[in-house]
Amino acid sequence: MPVTLFTSDRFADHLTPPGHPERVERFEVMAAVAAAFGAGGGDVREPRAATRAELNRIHGAEYLEMVAGTAGRATALDADTFTSPDTYDVACLAAGAAVTAVEHVLAASGDGSRDRPRRAMALVRPPGHHAEANRAMGFCFFNNVAVAAAHARANGIERVAIVDYDVHHGNGTQWAFYTDPSVLFVSSHQFPYYPGAGAATEIGSGSGTGFTVNLPLTAGATDADYELVYSRVAIPALRQFRPGLILISAGFDAYMDDPLGAMRLTAGAFGRLTAMIVAVADECCDGRVVAVSEGGYHLQGLADALRETIAALDSAAGYSPAADIVTNHAGRGEATLRSVVPALQPYWQL
């Protein structure tokens, strides 16, 4: 099997207050999916924790000290983001799982073998894509996917692409690389919505102008709306960028029944989007893809979407979603194209 999963029972040790959507039961779903994958012959491995130096590529030293200072106690870092006694260690492990997955994929690609795994997924909590350089927010402490991207760059990958299909915009990831032309950030998300970032006009700045690609979709977007904006914008930009590695912020809260989103994606849509991304990786970067879990708060939807995503990573060429794609365009995709394409056409052939 070409995909390797990285996860740990420690991800159940981050606790949140009663009624919080980012609850331990989410990891119980991830653990069950990973266990079934392993029982079927899949490769499931324990990750290592991120080092302070690896975290410091994205987060400021004072911020890291502040989060480390919460170890052993329960605190509120904002209205939504809470620590428990083990949270600091678990958050370091979540970032480390993303880093470990990158190391695994790069090592497999560098050994000269054509049949070694070149895809991996980190099943982690807490999520990471809202965490900014000096700020925890949106249930996130360290930006797992950004730390992984910086690690890949530090280990010789000249261009890294990040695709984020969580229902919420990955503001922390965007700002980490907003001026950096070596990292292409693509985000599809409900807009306007939390955290307020991700407008079509946010395309990067300075030498990074054009390397942030936002695909804001209004509430109610379907599988077909997502497929439209990916096929017309995200996939062409990825192909033209020709990354050496693609990272996926794999959030599943755009699922139709998720309590924190208002989109209408089926579980199969996440597999289809993943397969589209993997196809680009097969063309551009020897198949190197690392997915890192983000949101997803409807437990059955999380389980189904995870299985679809892993299946797409495992056999993208022959992947077909378990459920038929919702083919009716709700008009959201066309509206997104009207706002996005003019902003990006100076930088990409769309």
CB within 8 A of 109, min separation 6: which ones? 116, 118, 286, 287, 288
Helices (H) and strands (E) in the chain, counts: 11, 10
Q: Which two tokens stand for residue 87?
A: 């949270």
Catalytic residue, from 130, 151, 169, 189: name it.
130
| Bridge partner residues of 211 (DSSP) | none
Q: Return the ∠ at Cα 97 (arms to 91 and 103), rounded to 5°.
A: 140
Active site residue 104: no
Q: Which of 91, 74, 189, 197 is nearest to 139 (CA)?
A: 91
For 194-200, the CB contacts below 8 A with 24+ separation are: 194/138, 194/168, 195/130, 195/137, 195/138, 195/168, 195/169, 195/171, 196/169, 196/171, 197/169, 197/171, 198/169, 198/170, 198/171, 198/174, 200/336, 200/339, 200/340, 200/343
Instruction: Please identify every residue annotated as catalytic.
Output: 130
